[in-house]
């Protein structure tokens, strides 16, 4: 919604510049600033520029949420094992295609009491360029797979890559989803050094943090093992996204 207010503000600025007989370069500067803000906001889900997303829980209690994207995968069972061993529940934002590939693992996620979120059917690299209709199809198709495989319904949705725009905002409203972001991004899919990932996560933690991880690699599993030790030592509890 902030996007529409900003457009009105931008148009007002143009009228104001016109009234003052501003030069072409002033118009160009305003346009470039407007474009930069829109692009930046598209990739920063925490700004809530196009759609309001839950990025943390307001609390003074030392508790955090562990969330995992892009599964289930061949690595997910190991993640489930360590979570079960530590009696911790997490939130898994699953891709429809991956659920079809690993149905038993998906069913295990549900049976062990973890929360499920929709992460689209295909997690397309073109997500930011898809029409509202295509985005609705992506979300609804994933919902169908979740229901068929796990007999489960969810109103939680996390946009792939955290990208938002007017089309994605409309698709979220049309499908009745609750957009979920994060406050601590591990960057575990692009960082190879496990220690760097661990330090990035633990450095940014505070009460109510929502941590973004991916159950897609041995690397992140190792980070999770150390992170759980850290949480226990620092007396952090965990919560799932509702």
Instruction: Give pLDDT tens digits for 44-77.
Output: 788 877 899 999 999 999 999 999 999 999 999 9
Helix, strand, coil percentages (3-state) for the chain, rounded to 5, are 50, 15, 35
Q: Are 242 and 115 in contact (CB under 8 A)?
A: yes
- CATH domain 63-238 topology: TIM Barrel (3.20.20)
Catalytic residue ranges: 69, 214
- Facing residues of 157 across strands? 118, 179
In angstroms, the CA 194 to CA 114 distance is 25
Mention every residue, 6+ apart, whose C-beta is less than 8 A from residue 201.
184, 186, 211, 213, 223, 227
Does this model's pTM top 0.85? yes
Tokens 């509890």 correspond to what residue?
237
Whats the size of the chain, residue-wise?
Answer: 242
Look at 35 and 154; give whichever has higher pLDDT.
154
**What's the pLDDT at 37?**
59
Q: Please state, rounded to an integer, the average pLDDT across all residues of the chain.
A: 90
| Predicted local distance difference test score (pLDDT) of residue 43 | 62
């Amino acid at each position: 919604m902030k996007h529409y207010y900003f457009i009105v503000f931008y148009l007002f600025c143009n009228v104001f510049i016109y009234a003052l007989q501003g030069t072409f370069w002033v118009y160009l500067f305003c346009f470039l600033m407007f474009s930069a803000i829109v692009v930046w906001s598209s990739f920063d889900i925490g700004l809530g520029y196009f759609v309001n997303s839950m990025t943390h829980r307001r609390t003074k209690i030392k508790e955090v949420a562990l969330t995992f994207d892009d599964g289930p995968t061949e690595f997910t069972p190991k993640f489930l094992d360590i979570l079960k061993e530590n009696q911790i529940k997490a939130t898994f934002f699953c891709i429809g295609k991956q659920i079809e590939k690993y149905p038993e693992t998906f069913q295990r996620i549900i049976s062990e009491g973890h929360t499920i979120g929709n992460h689209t059917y295909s997690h397309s690299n073109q997500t930011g360029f898809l029409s509202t209709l295509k985005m609705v199809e992506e979300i609804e198709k994933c919902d169908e797979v979740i229901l068929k495989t796990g007999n489960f319904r969810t109103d939680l949705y996390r946009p792939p890559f955290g990208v938002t725009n007017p089309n994605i905002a409309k698709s979220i409203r049309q499908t009745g989803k609750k957009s979920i972001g994060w406050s601590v991004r591990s960057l575990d899919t692009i960082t190879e050094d496990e220690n760097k990932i661990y330090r990035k996560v633990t450095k940014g933690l505070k009460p109510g943090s929502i941590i973004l991880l991916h159950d897609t690699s041995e690397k992140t599993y190792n980070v999770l093992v150390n992170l759980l030790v850290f949480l226990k030592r620092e007396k952090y509890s965990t919560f799932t996204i509702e």
